């Protein structure tokens, strides 16, 4: 790698206009002496969120010349060693020598974590008070693990998911009017589309066949780039990984034990160790492809002996990947609610009462004033008395155990309040309203 190539890459960015984009809700702000990182699944919009951050930088008085952007999937950087990374700021200051130690310079690095030894380079840049470093990555190891350790606590990460419903409505230019009849009707129509299409930003305006085919290509690329290529020394069994990952996505919203999945795959003629499957599950979670929700309990032993529930990074992706008839709409709806809770921060669990009734979600968030817990059920249709009884029966016991006096049931369209035993208020809320709530 020579400095002239890097100068060309930097100048190429300078000559291109910033794209017009749907505004994302994820807030980004630097913390003193720390890099800022946007992590999330491939194609969730991380690169475009950095473009928006650059636009915010310009709106606050920065200039285009004070931005140095390098995208590490550029073929011209193929095989770039970590020892050559120092050529980046050298190339930048060769082009703009007047900026050195005078102007605040924003370095934006897409997927730099693919270059071995990149952590030391970021720490080197942060030694200069006028430098700000924004990076993106498709691995949760930037949040915790060996990569985060390599940055010695000097990296602040935010997770970006595919479009929320609020971002979805913004993309289509629809006001989030939950009051008027016309506004509610438009939101119901968009909710139908959101449930069908999912939240991947780059696929929203495609026809149904192309949409499914591109979701499947996303999945294949994630497996290849974010799992197999991300672990080159692991000798990953592609057949086992592919079957396991597909089986997980087919089970979104369902109980899952690794032991049960191993037995099922052994029955199908695939042979591997249990350690292999635990490792593959960790890789898939690191790549933000799947998530697992444990039972809510302060006891590690209780969590270990109970099943987890599995969810995908996008319910439409799960439907496109799952075999046969795909994933039914009730489980896709539950996945939708789960992801919205994750977007709002904190941890998401399920819960089982002593009577064996399951609560879909316990959402725990931590603040300076202590922990906050919320009970959330996801029920696509409360169409019959039997369904209503099933969805509400575990709430009073759960609320009493957690010391809460209210719970929420998210539905497709129903809306009312129910006073349950023990003085528990149950808010039954349509998804098109709940997904647009503040806080």
Please list the pLDDT of the chain residue by residue as tens digits (439 residues).
Answer: 689 999 999 999 999 999 988 999 999 999 999 999 999 999 999 999 999 999 999 999 999 999 999 999 888 888 888 899 999 999 999 999 999 999 999 999 998 988 888 999 999 999 999 999 999 998 888 876 666 677 888 899 999 999 999 999 999 999 899 999 999 999 999 999 999 999 999 998 899 999 999 999 999 999 999 999 999 999 999 999 999 999 999 999 999 998 999 999 999 899 888 999 999 999 999 999 999 999 999 999 999 999 999 999 999 999 999 987 789 999 999 999 999 999 999 999 999 999 999 999 999 998 878 889 999 999 999 989 999 999 999 999 999 999 999 999 999 999 999 999 889 999 999 999 999 987 5
- pTM score, two decimals? 0.94
Which residues lie below 8 Å from residue 361, measured CB to CB, with a gap of 6+? 293, 337, 338, 341, 348, 349, 350, 375, 376, 377, 378
> Residue ranges per domain, the chain?
3-159, 163-205, 207-327, 328-439
Instruction: Give the pLDDT of residue 153.
Output: 84
Tokens of 263: 């037995």
Tokens of 102: 């005078």
Q: What is the CATH number of domain 3-159?
A: 3.40.50.300
- Report d(CA 433, CA 419) in Å as an integer: 21
- Report d(CA 17, CA 329) in Å as an integer: 41
- Burial string for 300-327 (b: 16+ CB within 10 Å, else e) reads eeeeeeebbbbbbbbbbbbbbbbeeebb
The DSSP code sequence of 143-212 is TSSHHHHHTTT-EEEEE--SPPHHHHHHHTT-----SSHHHHHHHHHHHHHHHHH-S-GGGTTS-HHHHH
- Report d(CA 362, CA 365) in Å as an integer: 10
Instruction: Give the pLDDT of residue 145.
Output: 64
- Report d(CA 170, CA 188) in Å as an integer: 15
Instruction: Give the pLDDT of residue 370.
Output: 82
- Report d(CA 421, CA 40) in Å as an integer: 41
Cα 213 to chain centroid, rounded: 21
- Report d(CA 300, CA 287) in Å as an integer: 24
Residue from 373, 371, 379 nearest 415 by CA: 379
Q: What is the CATH number of domain 207-327?
A: 1.10.10.10
């Amino acid at each position: 790698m020579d400095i002239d190539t890097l100068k060309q890459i930097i100048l190429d960015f300078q000559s291109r206009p910033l794209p017009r984009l749907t505004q994302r809700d994820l807030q980004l702000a630097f913390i003193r002496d720390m890099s800022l990182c946007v992590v999330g699944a491939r194609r969730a919009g991380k690169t475009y969120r950095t473009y928006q951050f650059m636009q915010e930088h310009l709106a606050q008085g920065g200039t285009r010349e004070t931005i140095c952007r390098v995208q590490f999937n550029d073929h011209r950087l193929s095989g770039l060693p970590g020892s050559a990374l120092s050529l980046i700021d050298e190339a930048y200051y060769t082009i703009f020598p007047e900026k050195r130690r005078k102007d605040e310079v924003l370095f934006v690095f897409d997927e730099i974590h693919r270059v071995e030894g990149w952590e030391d380079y970021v720490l080197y840049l942060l030694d200069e008070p006028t430098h700000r470093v924004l990076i993106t990555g498709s691995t949760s190891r930037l949040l915790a693990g060996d990569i985060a350790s390599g940055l010695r606590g000097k990296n602040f990460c935010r997770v970006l998911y595919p479009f929320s419903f609020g971002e979805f409505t913004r993309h289509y230019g629809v006001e989030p009017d939950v009051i008027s009849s016309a506004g509610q009707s438009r939101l119901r129509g968009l909710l139908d589309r959101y449930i069908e299409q999912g939240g991947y930003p780059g696929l929203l305006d495609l026809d149904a066949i192309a949409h499914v085919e591109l979701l499947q290509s996303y999945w294949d690329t994630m497996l290849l780039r974010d799992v197999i290529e991300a672990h080159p020394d692991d000798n990953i069994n592609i057949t086992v990984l592919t079957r396991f990952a597909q089986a997980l996505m087919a089970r979104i919203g369902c109980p899952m034990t690794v032991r049960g999945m191993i037995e099922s795959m052994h029955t199908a003629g695939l042979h591997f160790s249990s350690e292999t499957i635990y490792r593959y599950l960790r890789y898939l979670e690191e790549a933000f492809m799947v998530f697992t929700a444990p039972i809510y309990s302060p006891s590690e032993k209780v969590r270990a002996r109970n099943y987890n529930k599995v969810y995908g990074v996008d319910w439409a992706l799960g439907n496109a990947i799952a075999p046969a008839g795909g994933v039914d709409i009730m489980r896709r709806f539950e996945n939708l609610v789960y992801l919205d809770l994750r977007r709002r921060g904190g941890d998401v669990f399920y819960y089982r009462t002593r009577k064996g009734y399951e609560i879909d979600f316990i959402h725990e968030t931590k603040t300076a004033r202590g922990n906050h817990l919320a009970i959330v059920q996801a029920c696509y249709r409360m169409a019959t008395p039997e369904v209503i009884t099933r969805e509400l029966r575990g709430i009073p016991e759960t609320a009493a155990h957690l010391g809460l006096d209210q719970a929420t049931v998210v539905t497709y369209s129903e809306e009312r309040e129910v006073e349950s035993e023990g003085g528990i208020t149950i808010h039954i809320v349509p998804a098109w309203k709940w997904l647009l709530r503040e806080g």
